[in-house]
Chains A and B, each alone.
Chain A
Amino acid sequence: MNRAIKDTQKMIEEVLDAYPEKARKDRAKHLAANDPTGQCSTCQVKSNIKSRPGVMTVRGCAYAGAKGVVWGPVKDQITISHGPIGCGQYSWWSRRNYYNGQTGIDTFGTMHITTDFQEKDIVYGGDKNLSAALQELKELFPLAKSMGILSECPVGLIGDDIESVSKKASKELSIPIVPVRCEGFRGVSQSLGHHIANDTIRDYILGKGELEKSTPYDVALIGDYNIGGDAWSSRRILEEMGLRVIAQWTGDASINEMGIANKAKVNLIHCYRSMNYICRHMEENYGIPWVEFNFFGPTKIYQSLRKIASYFDDRIKENAEKIVEKYKPMMDRVIEVYRPRLEGKKVMLYVGGLRPRHTIGAYEDLGMEVIASGYEFGHNDDYKRTYPDMKEGAVIMDDATLYELEEFTRRLRPDMVGSGIKEKYSYHKMGVPFRQMHSWDYSGPYHGFDGFPVFARDMDMTVNNPTWGLIRRKR
């Protein structure tokens, strides 16, 4: 076995020492030294398994995956947080899924709408109240195209029948009402919530939209939540290629777009983790091929453009080449400016569904190296896609805890860390440059040719800001 792998394994063992025996055994399966070749049998992590109690997992819940990620961004649907007051409050407009529309009139993305369960709802059930709530909402928001009922923990525990409430209300109000069984205790992370949300798109919305005409170039942009406008900067490239984006899921999505993706010629999927389910469904039932792509950083964008074009005729293939030719000088210029400032810097990533692998290429375009990466809620297929992109001996972490992140940072000494809001400020205290890689630290877009310069600028300001040098370390 290679030295780099051995060293990393030894380090992981040392870190694990602090755990009680049972937790140590479990956590050992989730941490590994990377082997890009796939030869080493102990270099693969286990994933999508329950978190250990009390270890301070970073993970969220099924509701967070279904409401926060998949359904929340659909702009002309009223998304109801069904249950107690908190869940909807804490996830209120925190993901920056940008959209066009007039909020409160024809779109509802930045609103927090909840049935605010009281003790009587727990005792007598919340169905009656929910029916009445749907009526009230329809009266107050006549332009809403649909309503989604996103269940919080108690709903499933007390045995409410939100499906029958939805069915009845949908008939009376003449709009789709989508019951989503995403109670937070289901599954082991956000991931099951994505799956449940995909299934409800399939059952209640898909195939029900209107599209006047079809063209051979119709595609759907799937798994882009338009954080800081990501989907828009991706769409720009696709349109420039000559493709017609008939649906954008779910960033800036309308219910109609959710209903017509089955008419696409190819489904283009960016966040595989959260929306592969519906792509598989459309492949099996509508014969629509789907293609994974990566719009972070020029190297991956060029590759992705050619990969996407390969599903179309020569015209599109030529367009793809023309676009590469057109944008390459601009991308080279960005690299020319920022690479000297970032060359050789080491990055540690711990994020969600696609960033732990999708951003590696963009960092490499800037001369940076990702020395550790991990997923909050990845599955085996995510890790399989990650190993080949990382160097030998890099740390792979699944469902890392605060303790592990801190220990790995101390030992690996990364020049910057990309993770979430819960991690951000402990890194600030440690004096380690940090960037939120869920929300782009309120910046963006990071996707596409318009996104890469912003990404490069932001990584530079993270690593090279002078404030890090002001810290006076206590001995």
Chain B
Amino acid sequence: MTRLKILDHNELFLQPEYLEQFERKREFERGPSEEEVRCVAEWTKSEQYRDLNFKRQHIKINPAKACQPLGAVFCASGFEGSMPFVQGAQGCVAYFRSHLNRHFKEPFAAVSTSMTEDAAVFGGLNNMLEGLENAYALYKPKMIAVSTTCMAEVIGDDLNAFIKQARDKGIIPKDLPVPFAHTPSFVGSYITGYDNMLKGILSAITTGKKGEPNGRVNFIMGFDTYTGDYFELKRLMQVMGVRHTLLADVSDIFDSPNTGQYKLYPGGTLLDEAMDSINAKATVALQRYSTLKTMEYIGKEWGQQTAVITPIGIKNTDRFFDSLSKLTGLPVPEEIEDERGRAVDAMIDSHPYVHGKRFALVGDPDLLMGLVSFLMEMGGIPVHIVCTMGDRKFEEDMSALLSESPFGAEGKVYVGKDMWHLRSLMFTEPVDLLIGNSYAKFLWRDTGTPLIRIGFPLFDRHHLHRYPIIGYQGTINLTNWIVNTVLDEMDRKTINTTSFDVIR
């Protein structure tokens, strides 16, 4: 084939015809002068602007936060044959689906009850009844997990009563599990929604299932968007010989093999196992802030031992295996000890490029706790820690963590703040590196601080979510991403100097 030179948007609009076009268009735009733009741009980098920015109380600008039902549908999908079902306006479900599609590059099924003006007036009962009937007939789920949008919450739809009616009318089979959770988007965030939905599912499907202890350990990942973490946890438990149930196991949902066949329900925790989770010896959660109510429920209602440890970094992973060893009476096998040794070796090899580097971080509370702990282990200095979804408790926990290490002395945690606040922080107190999700790339563009993409959502890079960030193996991955970002940046900066080294 002879080659045609084809320019797409990446190059096309740099051509002189287009640059001239843009210049001509300015006549009609009547925008500010270049001088004005320059002045204001400089001003936004100042201390004065930072003060003004931090005075703001009524508006969020580039927040790292999304709403409850996103967490609910994410969690709901992680069970065998489970259809996430959202009572409310339909646009929300279109948004949840596309948001998850863009991060995982995977299909995601969820249905809406498509409530409109008439439901706003008369309530959403009819929508719920017809929705259950249609979803059951078309998509043949083994479980329908119901959550709500803000519309259903504002008008006060009663999910419990609605679902009962659906059963009484024979619209859905009597034995079809239909757990539910109220997930108003004006309360909390997707970590709250995950927690509410999981508690809703577990409490519904374990009712009447209390029986003989099964000797297993339940695991809950929390709102963890790294599919690699789920596979890693299952591998580690196999290596250690821990009989376990991974609850809300979304690994196959968001990383299913291509077999030329689209499966609506490609995996998830087996329902029988999930129902038996009430008889486990203990439940271990790998995130705290996304499992608060669920873990309280399990501790109180199921009477199980519980532990909450996020195994990110060496010390956290050590604690994780120590606790697990105590819970199960099983020793930590040599194989895992070897993995630890390799992770520590990797960190030692790379430490010169991380030691003393100053970091800004933005993300979810549990992830930030793990990352800050890990950075300090390697001699990194967390400086600005922004958590839009964080609360007072998180602020205390993070401050306590920072006080454990001399590398935490400069760290300051900002809960409820957003990436526009972080922009001010990064201009007035610059750092060497930034950790955040894809939207943090705007901070990279504005401040020139290299971005290490860790978190959710990651839209503009492929496959990062496939790599675990938990355990010793996850620690190696984190080390890899961080140190090689430093080295890439070093190459970029030294490209015209004698320091353009080939061995580093």
Interface of A toward B, CB cutoff 8 Å: 18-20, 22-23, 50-64, 76, 80, 83-87, 89-94, 98, 100-106, 110-119, 121-122, 129-130, 132-133, 136-137, 139-140, 142-143, 152-154, 156-158, 184-188, 190, 209-212, 228-229, 232-233, 235-236, 239, 245-248, 252, 254, 256-257, 260, 333-334, 337, 341, 401-403, 406, 420-422, 424-431, 443-445, 450, 453-454, 457, 471-474
Spot the interface stretch: B112-120, B227-235, B282-290, B292-300: B112-120
**Can you list the 6 inter-chain pairs with the closest CB atoms, starting with the nearest?**
A61-B91, A86-B67, A54-B131, A53-B131, A90-B95, A54-B134
Contact B59 A111, beta carbon cutoff 8 Å: no
Interface of B toward A, CB cutoff 8 Å: 1-2, 4, 6-9, 12-13, 17-18, 21-22, 24-25, 27-32, 36-37, 40-41, 44, 49, 52-53, 55-63, 65-67, 69-70, 85, 88-92, 94-99, 101-102, 105-117, 119-120, 127-128, 130-139, 149-151, 154-155, 184-187, 189, 256, 258-263, 420, 423, 439, 442, 446
Known: A64-B94, A121-B186, A143-B40. A254 touches B261 (CB 8 A): no
Contact of A153 among B7, B128, B154, B423 (CB under 8 A): B154
> In the complex the two chains form, what is the Cα distance from A188 to B128 in whole Å?
17
26 A-B contact pairs sorted by A residue (CB < 8 Å): A18-B138, A52-B134, A54-B135, A56-B111, A56-B138, A61-B94, A83-B186, A89-B67, A94-B102, A100-B25, A104-B44, A111-B62, A114-B59, A133-B58, A136-B59, A143-B36, A143-B40, A154-B151, A154-B186, A185-B115, A228-B8, A341-B1, A430-B260, A444-B8, A450-B7, A457-B8
User: Closest residue to B136 on the A side, CB-wise?
Assistant: A54
Which residues of chain B are within 8 angstroms of A53 by Cβ–Cβ distance?
111-115, 127-128, 130-131, 134
Which residues of chain B are within 8 angstroms of A132 by Cβ–Cβ distance?
57-58
A-B contact count (CB 8 A): 344
Q: What is the minimal beta-carbon distance from A415 to any residue of chain B, in angstroms?
A: 15
Contact B149 A112, beta carbon cutoff 8 Å: no
Which residues of chain A are within 8 angstroms of B36 by Cβ–Cβ distance?
106, 143
Q: What is the minimal beta-carbon distance from A223 to any residue of chain B, in angstroms?
A: 17
Which residues of chain A are within 8 angstroms of B107 by Cβ–Cβ distance?
422, 424-426, 428-429
> In the complex the two chains form, what is the Cα distance from A158 to B154 in whole Å?
8
Contact A59 B90, beta carbon cutoff 8 Å: yes
Contact A257 B29, beta carbon cutoff 8 Å: yes
Known: A143-B36, A229-B9, A429-B107. A401 touches B138 (CB 8 A): yes
Which residues of chain A are within 8 angstroms of B49 by Cβ–Cβ distance?
140
Contact B258 A103, beta carbon cutoff 8 Å: no
Which residues of chain A are within 8 angstroms of B134 by Cβ–Cβ distance?
19-20, 23, 52-55
Which residues of chain A are within 8 angstroms of B112 by Cβ–Cβ distance?
53-54, 56-57
Which residues of chain B are within 8 angstroms of A232 by Cβ–Cβ distance?
13, 18, 21-22
Q: What is the minimal beta-carbon distance from A19 to any residue of chain B, in angstroms?
A: 6
> In the complex the two chains form, what is the Cα distance from A203 to B116 in whole Å?
25
Q: What is the minimal beta-carbon distance from B431 to any residue of chain A, in angstroms?
A: 19
Q: What is the minimal beta-carbon distance from B426 to any residue of chain A, in angstroms?
A: 13
Contact B260 A105, beta carbon cutoff 8 Å: no
Which residues of chain A are within 8 angstroms of B12 by Cβ–Cβ distance?
229, 233, 445, 450
Which residues of chain A are within 8 angstroms of B114 by Cβ–Cβ distance?
50-53, 57
Contact B133 A54, beta carbon cutoff 8 Å: yes
Contact of B44 among A105, A186, A471 (CB under 8 A): A105
Q: What is the minimal beta-carbon distance from B396 to any residue of chain A, in angstroms?
A: 21
User: Closest residue to B457 on the A side, CB-wise?
Assistant: A89
Contact B90 A445, beta carbon cutoff 8 Å: no
Contact B439 A92, beta carbon cutoff 8 Å: yes
Q: What is the minimal beta-carbon distance from A439 to any residue of chain B, in angstroms?
A: 10
Which residues of chain A are within 8 angstroms of B89 by Cβ–Cβ distance?
61, 153, 184-185
Q: What is the minimal beta-carbon distance from B185 to any residue of chain A, in angstroms?
A: 4
> In the complex the two chains form, what is the Cα distance from A367 to B44 in whole Å?
53
Q: What is the minimal beta-carbon distance from A366 to any residue of chain B, in angstroms?
A: 13
Contact B256 A153, beta carbon cutoff 8 Å: no
Known: A153-B150, A153-B151, A247-B28. A187 touches B442 (CB 8 A): no
Which residues of chain A are within 8 angstroms of B137 by Cβ–Cβ distance?
18-20, 23
Which residues of chain A are within 8 angstroms of B1 by Cβ–Cβ distance?
337, 341
Contact B187 A55, beta carbon cutoff 8 Å: no
Contact B259 A474, beta carbon cutoff 8 Å: yes
Known: A59-B94, A87-B95, A429-B262. A102 touches B37 (CB 8 A): yes
Known: A53-B127, A422-B98. A113 touches B61 (CB 8 A): yes
Given A190-B91, A445-B8, 5 extra CB contacts under 8 A: A53-B127, A54-B112, A422-B101, A424-B101, A472-B260
Which residues of chain B are within 8 angstroms of A112 by Cβ–Cβ distance?
60-63, 439
> In the complex the two chains form, what is the Cα distance from A89 to B101 in whole Å?
14
Which residues of chain A are within 8 angstroms of B263 by Cβ–Cβ distance?
429
> In the complex the two chains form, what is the Cα distance from A118 to B135 in whole Å?
32
User: Closest residue to B55 on the A side, CB-wise?
Assistant: A136
Contact A122 B186, beta carbon cutoff 8 Å: yes
Contact of A84 among B22, B186, B258 (CB under 8 A): B186
